[in-house]
Amino acid sequence: MTDKPVFELTFTAAVGHIDELGHVNNAVWVQWIQQVAVAHWEAVAPKAHKDAYYWVVVRHEIDYLRAAHDGDVVTARTWVADAPRGARFERFIEFIGPDAKVCVRSRTQWAIIDKAIARPIRVPPEVIAPFISPE
């Protein structure tokens, strides 16, 4: 886990999420990773930052540890790395199943894009500050 602020979002596995093995499909976990990251950005970033920047995925690492099944409620917990590297910034997510065990763990690199110039930029410290310091 982490000492940084953690954002949480819950998901309920439903029929459309389930693959032929009876588990939440791997592609659904990727969609949920995206949804959690965007929800965290929307919840924490000030309007000026949302208006000026957007983020794109550069790389996903995903460990599928346990299955989730139809009707299971999973809690996504996300936090960010200590510091950006140029335009890139890492985000971590764990999905906790109904048995309180980690189902899926991910580490994703995101790149920040300046909307005005439509290009990546170095991550401004003020953009990250609300995500790494408790309020």
For residue 40, tell me if it sits in a domain: yes
Q: What is the DSSP letter of 98?
A: T
- The number of distinct structural domains making up the chain is 1
Q: What is the pLDDT, as a whole number, of residue 82?
A: 84
Full residue range of the structural domain in which residue 74 is found: 7-132
For residue 105, tell me if it sits in a domain: yes
For residue 1, tell me if it sits in a domain: no
CATH code, domain carrying 23:
3.10.129.10
pTM of the model: 0.93
* Whole-angstrom distance, CA of residue 130 vs CA of residue 135: 7
pLDDT digits over 91-130, tens only?
A: 999 999 999 999 999 999 999 999 999 999 999 999 999 9
pLDDT digits over 21-48, tens only?
A: 999 999 999 999 999 999 999 999 999 9
For residue 99, tell me if it sits in a domain: yes
Q: What is the DSSP letter of 105?
A: E
For residue 2, tell me if it sits in a domain: no
Sign of the alpha-carbon torsion through 34, 61, 75, 133: negative
For residue 12, tell me if it sits in a domain: yes
* Whole-angstrom distance, CA of residue 55 vs CA of residue 87: 10
Alpha helices in 1-135 (DSSP H): 26-44, 47-52, 125-132
pLDDT digits over 47-75, tens only?
A: 999 999 999 999 999 999 999 999 999 99
* Chain centre to alpha carbon of residue 93: 6
Q: What is the DSSP letter of 122?
A: P
